[in-house]
Amino acid sequence: MPIPGNNAKSQSDYGIITSTIGEGEQSTQKKIQGSVNFDIPNFAKFRGSDSAKINLVEFGDYQCPFCKRFFDQTEPQLMTEYVDAEKAKFYFLDVSIVGADSLTLGQGSWCADEQGKYYEYHDYMYSNQGQENSGWGTPDKVKDLVRNISGLDVEKFSECLDSKKYESRNQQLTKFSNQLGLTGTPTMFVGNSETGYTKITGAQPYSSFKQVIDSYLQ
């Protein structure tokens, strides 16, 4: 699932690459050689404790079957061992690479966020993911799906989705992910602004993530 090309300039609101560690890096701070450094978009939502030192930043497509595999098999262990233990914060940022419905599903996450249901939406959509480009993520289908999210006002959500007010946000996140060198989803960046971020591509087993995360916690 290749990431679409991007010729647009990044916007600070959507994140910005600040440096590539190891290329003329003169800082005396501890860095992970070869990692990239960037600012997390200022609107991004996280799970975990604000005091956690390490960030786990996932870029994913709601239609991507490998993202669902990561959600089902690896994410629960990361939550238990690092996020719930207040060692790391988890961020999910939506991109659209599979098809048109990915853009709709991504917009829906921010409409849910308006009601404080960003991660409830994230969990429900991955738990009930349909086949790629099968029509399960059309606006009407998404509006029906969110009826099952407890406490979400469907009428307000529908108005938000119909307005396409978050279409540009998803598009900008997709462009930003391309600038960060994504070749597919899911892709996780592990680290922080002081040490830089290491990229892990694909629905890798928990052990692969553990090795990288633990290297940052040492």
- The CATH number linked to 153 is 3.40.30.10
> In this predicted model, which residue has the larger pLDDT, 192 or 24?
192
Question: What pLDDT sits at residue 13?
Answer: 52
Task: Give the tens place of pLDDT for each residue, 18-61.
Answer: 444 333 334 334 445 447 889 999 999 999 999 999 999 999 99
Size (the chain), residues: 218
Residue 114 belongs to a domain: yes
* Residue 38 resides in a domain: yes
Report if residue 2 sits inside a domain.
no
H-assigned helices in 114-200: 118-127, 139-145, 154-163, 167-179
Query: Is it the case that residue 174 has pLDDT exceeding 70?
Result: yes
Distances (CA, A) of 3 to 68, 144, 179: 18, 29, 10
116: left (phi over 0), alpha (psi -120 to 50) or beta: left
C-alpha distances (whole Å) from 81 to each of 42, 75, 76, 87 are 26, 10, 9, 8
Q: Is residue 70 part of a domain?
A: yes
CA 203, CA 187: separation in Å to the nearest integer? 8
Is residue 9 one of the residues assigned to a domain? no
> Cα separation of 106 and 49, whole Å?
25
In the prediction, which pLDDT does 218 show? 86
Q: Indicate the average pLDDT of the chain.
A: 87
- pTM confidence score: 0.86
Domain membership of residue 84 (yes or no) is yes
- The answer to whether residue 136 is domain-embedded is yes
Q: pLDDT per residue over 92-123, tens digit each? A: 999 999 999 999 999 999 999 999 999 999 99
What pLDDT, on a 0 to 100 scale, did the predictor assign at position 24? 38
Query: Range of 189's domain?
Result: 15-217
- Check residue 6 and give its pLDDT: 37
**Residue 142 within any structural domain of the chain:** yes
**For residues 134-156, average pLDDT:** 98
Structure-block tokens of residue 93: 């940022």
What is the predicted pLDDT for the residue at 193? 86
Q: What is the pLDDT of residues 4-25, one digit of tens each?
A: 433 333 334 544 444 443 333 3
Total domain count for the chain?
A: 1
